[in-house]
Structure 1
Amino acid sequence: MLVVHHLSKSYGIAPVLSDISFAINPGEKIALVGPNGCGKTTLLRILAGQEHADSGSYQFNPPDLSVGYLPQGSSFNADDTFADYISRAEGDLPGLSLQLEEFAGQLMHSPQNSDLQRKYDAVLSQIEERSSAAASAPAVLASLGLEHLPGDLPLSALSGGQKTRLRLAGILLTNPRLLLLDEPTNHLDFEMLEWLENWLLHSRCAVLVVSHDRAFLDHVAQTILELDATTHTLKAYTGNYSDYLDQKENERNKQLAEYRDQEMEIRRMKQDIARTKQQSLKVELSTTPRQPGIRRIAKKVAKKALSREKKLDRYIESDERVDKPQDSWQMKMDFASAPDSGRDVLILEHLSIGYAQTVILSNLNAVLRYGERAALVGPNGCGKTTLLRTAGGSLPVLAGRCRLGANVIPGYITQEQEELDSGFNALTTFQRSASLNETDSRAFLHKYLFSSDDVFTPVGSLSFGQRARLTLACLVARGCNFLLLDEPLNHLDLPSRAQFEQALMDFEGTILTVVHDRYFIQRYATSLWQIENGKLIEIKQ
């Protein structure tokens, strides 16, 4: 279905992909993993025809294979409505019908023209596919929970989860045989996550997916392809994500054992060579020219020791030497001791929230107390982000009260990372949030995986994962004691997610976060704030 041969790609002098080869068979479900910035999105964009490789090739079988591509964080046209988007996804049937009539008329006059016949057949095939898409649209929209949306609804009014589901609907309407999915689970609620998992598992489509959702990868992936950030090469592992972790741990343990055995043998050989050279020298110094036989033997032994020493040096410099396994560079988040707040951190009293005159949720009553870590959950579009924005002060209260307790210093991370100004570089952005000089700021950002030159990269050129890490760094530097986090794990790679979870466990303040990562909720949440049927229900973990 898809064969990739020796694909390589660099940006300037920086290699991203090096000699990548793999194949995808019909119906196969493959996950592509690796740290942020290692080239996962670049590989998908090349396969989707949106970028060109420097060398190598890839082939689809058949050549006209229907491929659906879901890019990461793709945006909509500002003036588009729901009906506009679905109409485009279904295809321009009237325009295709006119083309078919035109080719049919030409074929009447030139029935033996094989080129015209091919064009006619291609347009006819497109019409059949688009007609099928139009007929299946209601069922696809219903399965994704979008059937109730009015056609004139501006796409800018959709929640993050609804936007992701709409993009998925647009792809499914093209009836693809191969899906290239870049972070498809971002912003999806639990119900939609389960739907997507089940759909992919039972679909005959082949799938190449980039995802940092561990439960999703365990449920869907049959093979894991790991992109190495250092060598820029690809390695395949059979099984799901948990199987991959087990295999990686076994590999590391085996390499570490081999490395230790090797180093022990190198030390033994060096000691043996040194002892032999010392004995030879001792013999030579303790004998006289009248004892030539003994001296010849000593020189022969010394020569053999020198030969062994050169052989050992060649081995140490060769590719045969086993390197010590290196742990990947991970975020070193360290929340400074936050100042204590009052016992009641966030108080909701008969609260109504929404936009202008549109009430989304009403009569909300809840209290979040110091030290609690609450996960705010509920279906896409139910008002989770609106509640966070209201609590953070960026949206006005429509009715009732929403207030912060004594000595509460809130820090808010938005879902779309809109708090970042694309006109500044990473260093300037951080310094606007933290009272640190350039040297200390660069040292701080280094903990968040920004190397020496990365700090001068404009925000608009950073990857989504880099932007997430920059936002986290700014929040930590401000010394907040109440974190309002809207999907904070989106775009973080898997090692960084684990590090972020551990940092939250160590955080001494209070947390309210919208999150759909099931592993994350199980590990760190002390309670759930669940929005269900317009009501806010607190569930203690």
Structure 2
Amino acid sequence: MTTITLPQRARAQLGAHDVHIARGGRPVLQGVDLAVTPGSRIGVVGDNGRGKSTLVDVLAGHLEPDRGEVRCLGSLGVAEQEMAVTEGRTVGDLIDIELVHVREVLRLLDETAQALADDRPGAADAYAEALDAAELLHAWDADRRVDTALEALGAVTDRSRLLAEMSVGQRYRVRLAGILGAEHDFLLLDEPTNHLDASGLEYLTERLQQTRSGVVLVSHDRALLTDVATSILDLDPSVDGRPRLYGGGYAGYRKGRVAEYERWVAEYARQQAEHARLAVDLEAAQDRLVTGWRPDKGTGKHQRATRAPALVQSVHRRQDALDEHAVTTPPPPLRFSMPALGAELDGIAPDVPLIRAEDVTVSGRLTTPVSLSLGARARLAVTGPNGAGKSSFLAVLAGELTPTSGDLDIAELVRVGRLAQESPAPSAARVREVYERHVGALESAGIVPGEELVALEHLGLFTEHDLGQRVRDLSMGQQRRLDLAMVLATRPHVLLLDEPTNHLSITLVDELTDALGVTDAVVVLATHDRQLRRDIAEWPHLALT
């Protein structure tokens, strides 16, 4: 009879010990230690490119670490950021994949029930085992749980619908509903809020707070981490290069991270002072040798020959010992710098709208007519549930999508930049090449004068190493940084942002939020990020239904 792996409930264990992974000779994960138990909820944070998604792949068994080990006893539900679509696969197929254990147990229950009816040897024991497994999984209720999750997440409920006909967000919500309905021992969730609206976020938060599963949650969503995480694993650099696990939830992490960095800086300063003192000692000893230093009268011949070099050797030994145990330099963190945007245009009066839409609709995507008029330095938050047409409306304002009805008027010489919700397909070109090609095209077309072009290094979005990376080798968060850089390169007078916090690190989200508050550009923003919505609560709002 078929052997199946069942959830282990209270016995379930998931752990990583001293996990190391390097790519291109550079460490991605270094010395990760993690123990996940049923009911624990661990948030994973870190700057873009620090290995958050890689850690999910390692814990899921999709990637073998270069060093260290991962142990898992129990079932896993994995929601990664990217999702391949097989030709002909439907919503129902995707749900069946997540409920494979349930389907197999129910099939075995039917088989053993028939064997019991036929009075076959050993049928009673086999039937009892299958029944226990079905009850452990609450197998008869699994599809109802999935249907409830599909509705709550705003996902497609038609199980015959082809996945290829659906958007990235729609497919992700279906998979997330299947994972939540399966009730695995462990949930590995990589940016699960990226495609959820307000009601979906509330449902996910409630489910994660109540789940019996152990949760590893990679997220930039500060509100979700605050509401859900019981501890935080920080993958950003530390004094010894290893990740830090902070208790006390998200608040404990923020407090602990500041204290950790302050200790690091203080220790580095202490060691730098000690290095300087030793260097002075060493130089003084060498000067004494050069100027003919001699020991006191009466010193033996052997001592006279060896004492001076011994002094230098002693200082050298102290220097070597200190170097061997030296603290690494606290790395200067990337700091985002918004370029000057929205400079006043010659010939446009301050009270003249830079962009105006009147009764705009897009067939099948934005059905309710929308009108607005935005003057210099205006702010607008566009809200509404998934499917209300927020992305389509922003694409119309950018002049990238022709409305089915209504009028759009963009003042002459006004530059409009739109950050789309999803990144384009990554190329094999390197980051610096892609950006320089982009700004070169802007200058050649006369869109941005040469003196206004923005150097990528000045934005504070990439390290020098990152600039030489191929775009296809970047993390999704790093690709998102490049998308933002390409939009800012146009020096837009009107900045349209569609879910700008998707995939970005918490630190960059905070810096971007601050920059949006002071830029001279018109800013139109669509987001489901609850903390960002709190931060821009005073902005005018346009609700789409």
Alignment match, 1:135: 144
Q: 1:172 aligns with which of 171, 176, 180?
A: 180
Are 2:467 and 1:478 equivalent residues in the alignment? Answer: no
Superposition deviation, residue 130 in structure 1: 4.2
Superposition deviation, residue 228 in structure 1: 4.0
Q: 1:434 aligns with which of 439, 442, 445?
A: 439
Superposition deviation, residue 171 in structure 1: 0.4
Are 2:22 and 1:10 equivalent residues in the alignment? Answer: yes
Paired AA for residue 448 in structure 1:
L
* 1:191-236 C-alpha deviation (Å, 9 max, x unpaired): 3223222221122221101011122212211111122468763321
* Aligned sequence identity (%): 28
> Does the CA contact (< 8 Å) of 2:109 and 2:130 recur in 1?
no
Superposition deviation, residue 23 in structure 1: 0.7
Tell me the distance in 2 between the aligned counterparts of 1:376 and 1:318: 56
Tell me the distance in 1 between the aligned counterparts of 2:152 and 2:105: 28
Tell me the distance in 2 between the aligned counterparts of 1:277 and 1:508: 60
* 1:61-92 C-alpha deviation (Å, 9 max, x unpaired): xx3x1211111132545655545544554559
Tell me the distance in 2 between the aligned counterparts of 1:317 and 1:32: 33
Alignment match, 1:417: 423
> Does the CA contact (< 8 Å) of 1:179 and 1:207 recur in 2?
yes
Superposition deviation, residue 494 in structure 1: 2.1
Q: Label 1:144 to 1:217 Cα distance change in 2 as closer, same or farther (>3 A).
A: same
Tell me the distance in 1 between the aligned counterparts of 2:97 and 2:456: 46
Paired AA for residue 202 in structure 1:
Q
Q: Label 1:91 to 1:322 Cα distance change in 2 as closer, same or farther (>3 A).
A: closer
* 1:12-40 C-alpha deviation (Å, 9 max, x unpaired): 54433333222112201101122222222
Are 2:466 and 1:449 equivalent residues in the alignment? Answer: no
Paired AA for residue 221 in structure 2:
D
Are 2:339 and 1:334 equivalent residues in the alignment? Answer: yes
Tell me the distance in 2 between the aligned counterparts of 1:381 and 1:442: 35
Paired AA for residue 205 in structure 1:
S
Q: Label 1:111 to 1:120 Cα distance change in 2 as closer, same or farther (>3 A).
A: same
Superposition deviation, residue 345 in structure 1: 2.3
Paired AA for residue 23 in structure 1:
A
Tell me the distance in 2 between the aligned counterparts of 1:389 and 1:170: 31
Q: 1:253 aligns with which of 253, 256, 262?
A: 262
Superposition deviation, residue 404 in structure 1: 1.9
Tell me the distance in 1 between the aligned counterparts of 2:407 and 2:185: 52
Paired AA for residue 354 in structure 2:
V
Alignment match, 1:510: 522
Paired AA for residue 28 in structure 1:
S
Give unmatched runs, 5+ long, in structure 1. 535-541
Paired AA for residue 490 in structure 2:
R
Q: Label 1:183 to 1:102 Cα distance change in 2 as closer, same or farther (>3 A).
A: same
Alignment match, 1:402: 408
TM-score scaled to structure 1, two decimals?
0.80
> Does the CA contact (< 8 Å) of 1:7 and 1:21 recur in 2?
yes
> Does the CA contact (< 8 Å) of 1:280 and 1:301 recur in 2?
no
> Does the CA contact (< 8 Å) of 2:191 and 2:218 recur in 1?
yes
Alignment match, 2:209: 201
> Does the CA contact (< 8 Å) of 1:162 and 1:381 recur in 2?
no
Paired AA for residue 475 in structure 2:
S
Give unmatched runs, 5+ long, in structure 2. 1-12, 444-450
Alignment match, 1:537: none
Which structure 2 residues correspond to residues 205-354 of structure 1 after superposition, within 5 A? Answer: 205-228=213-236, 233-268=242-277, 270-271=279-280, 284=293, 291-292=297-298, 302=308, 305-306=311-312, 308-319=314-325, 321-335=326-340, 338=343, 340=345, 342=348, 343-351=352-360, 353-354=361-362
Q: Label 1:301 to 1:13 Cα distance change in 2 as closer, same or farther (>3 A).
A: closer
SS at match of 1:344: coil
Are 2:49 and 1:37 equivalent residues in the alignment? Answer: yes
Alignment match, 1:360: 366
> Does the CA contact (< 8 Å) of 2:343 and 2:520 recur in 1?
yes
SS at match of 2:497: strand
* 1:414-463 C-alpha deviation (Å, 9 max, x unpaired): 11223x564655445334421179xx999626843164575461x44432
> Does the CA contact (< 8 Å) of 2:43 and 2:225 recur in 1?
yes
Paired AA for residue 369 in structure 2:
N
